[in-house]
Amino acid sequence: MFSPYGNNNLLNIVKIKRHANLTYSFINHWMHICKQSSVISNKIEVSSTNELTDETQFCALEKSVTPLCRVPYERQLILKQQWTNTVCKELRSRLHNAKTVIRLPKVFPISSSPQINEYRNKDEFNFRPGIDGNPKTLGFFVSNPSNGSIYCVPAMKLINTKQSHKDIAQAFEVFVRKSELPVSYDHMDGGFWRGIIVRSNLKGDKMAIVVANPRGYTNDVMLDEQRRFNDFLQSININIQSLYFHPSLHTRSSKDSIFILVDGDKYIYEDLCSFKFRISPDSFFQINTLTAEVLYDELFKLISPTKTSTLLDLCSGTGTVSIIGSQHVQSCIGIESVAQAVNDAKETAKLNNISNCDFIEGKVEIVLKHVMDELSMASDLCTVLNPGRAGVHPKVINAIRNNRLINSLAYVSCKADSPITMKNLVELVVNNKKSRPFTLESIKPVDMFPHTKHCEIIFMFKR
């Protein structure tokens, strides 16, 4: 039988069937349904460590961040395929409870990641006390089951993190431990150093963003620390193409957007699907570049645009879907609420000499009606909704359902088991008297995050 996903995926199907005898006992051991924090659980059951020590801390971090790293990769794909089926069944159950009858969508086999180790192109390291009590320990947080305390564990043994990122983080920890300034765990605690974000591309170019709490510190102090850290990196021969300093007054640094270029280039660039993307300090970019190419290839296979199509890119971020889709359609319109993301999208379009993309700043539920009025004569409209992990506000779903021209919608989710995402999916399909519902035709999983319990899922809706 012909498969639109090619011979490689047929081989994957054969491999999955070959391991079918392992599936039930393996999945029953590793996966459970129903979890208070999410609608559907693909929680991994691992043996817990009663107390964190120098020897057990790295194992504890591994189990927290990469719980499947000791599972053969083919078995990881089996687990994620099974979890995708569970998502489908949960959605059907919820629609049944809402008295909406649906036919089962086609669930395609999961696409594997071309790179399963050291694939992360962005990591954020923060300070907390280490297991040895040193308050200036940089890494990721792990809870100690014996007393509930939070400790920081360095990322040196995580296999999904690039060695270059680990090297920069380790150098920053050494520098901060020599600094007279304290670290900051909270924006009101009087500390200064908060952490570091490291980004990189496939070529190996690196961007580092030092995050600090400026509250109570003069500009002279901050400028001096920036210079000292830059000199320190050069003294130990760590080459960073772009070094930024990010003074942040809030607990979440995304709430302010002051990025000071300390040294090097203003941007780094990444090649994706034959296009060149500009990456700034706060740009959104898929965490696994090679698998992102797989994701977008599968996405456009499912939506099947033509040269007469108009692509409506909702929650467009930095314009990745529009930029890649521009070669397949007549025109693209991206709607995004974050101003800097819209600017990045416009600049990336210019960088690639793309003239058929337009990006609009604003909330989807507000801007969509005006955009659809402009597209009232469009004969072929395909729509992509690619929100963050938390899904979108119900007003966005209502705006989509109320627009009669939107009859094809691809909803891309990296966390399909979140309560809001599941609610979004149900609201697209459920019957009501106000608007015509969609039908969920197919589901396509893509393993964007090897060694973790997560994957990207494309939900293809039609009406």
344 shares its domain with 439? yes
297 shares its domain with 261? no
228 shares its domain with 324? no
DSSP 90-142: HHHHHHHHTT---PPPEEPPPBPPS--SS--SEEEEEEE--TT--S-EEEEEE
297 shares its domain with 240? no
92 shares its domain with 166? no
pLDDT one-digit tens code per residue, 167-205: 999 999 999 999 999 999 988 889 999 999 999 999 999
Q: Which residue has the higher pLDDT, 249 or 322?
A: 322
User: What percent of the chain stands above pLDDT 90?
Assistant: 69
328 shares its domain with 192? no
Binding site for S-adenosyl-L-methionine, residues?
286, 336, 386
Within-domain flag for 61: no
pLDDT one-digit tens code per residue, 356-413: 999 999 999 899 888 988 887 777 889 999 998 878 889 889 989 988 889 999 999 9
Beta bridge partners of 259: none
189 shares its domain with 89? no
Domain range holding 195?
122-265
pLDDT one-digit tens code per residue, 201-249: 999 999 999 999 999 999 999 999 999 999 999 999 999 999 999 999 8
User: What percent of the chain stands above pLDDT 70?
Assistant: 88
Beta bridge partners of 384: 313, 410
The pTM score is: 0.86
Residue 239 exposure: Cα atoms within 13 Å on the Cβ side = 2
Within-domain flag for 65: no
Within-domain flag for 405: yes
108 shares its domain with 132? no
328 shares its domain with 383? yes
Going by pLDDT thresholds of 50, 70 and 90, the confidence category of residue 148 is confident
Is-contact 314 360, C-beta < 8 A? no
220 shares its domain with 327? no
- First CA to last CA distance, the chain: 27
Q: What is the pLDDT of residue 119?
A: 98
Within-domain flag for 17: no
pLDDT one-digit tens code per residue, 295-320: 999 999 999 999 999 999 999 989 99
Q: Which residues are catalytic?
A: 414
Within-domain flag for 294: yes
**Mean pLDDT computed over 67-90:** 96
**Mean pLDDT computed over 405-433:** 93
Number of C-beta neighbours around residue 260 at 10 A: 15
Within-domain flag for 420: yes
Binding site, residues?
286, 336, 386
**Angle at the Cα of 301 from the Cα atoms of 12 and 7, rounded to 5 degrees:** 30
Going by pLDDT thresholds of 50, 70 and 90, the confidence category of residue 133 is very high
DSSP 353-409: T--SEEEEES-HHHHHHHHHHHTTT-S-EEEEE---TT---HHHHHHHHT-TT--EE
Q: How far apart are CA 116 and CA 123, in angstroms?
A: 16
Within-domain flag for 332: yes
Residue 424 exposure: Cα atoms within 13 Å on the Cβ side = 28
330 shares its domain with 424? yes
Q: How far apart are CA 80 and CA 101, in angstroms?
A: 26
CATH of the domain at 211: 2.40.50.1070
Number of domains in the chain: 2
Within-domain flag for 51: no
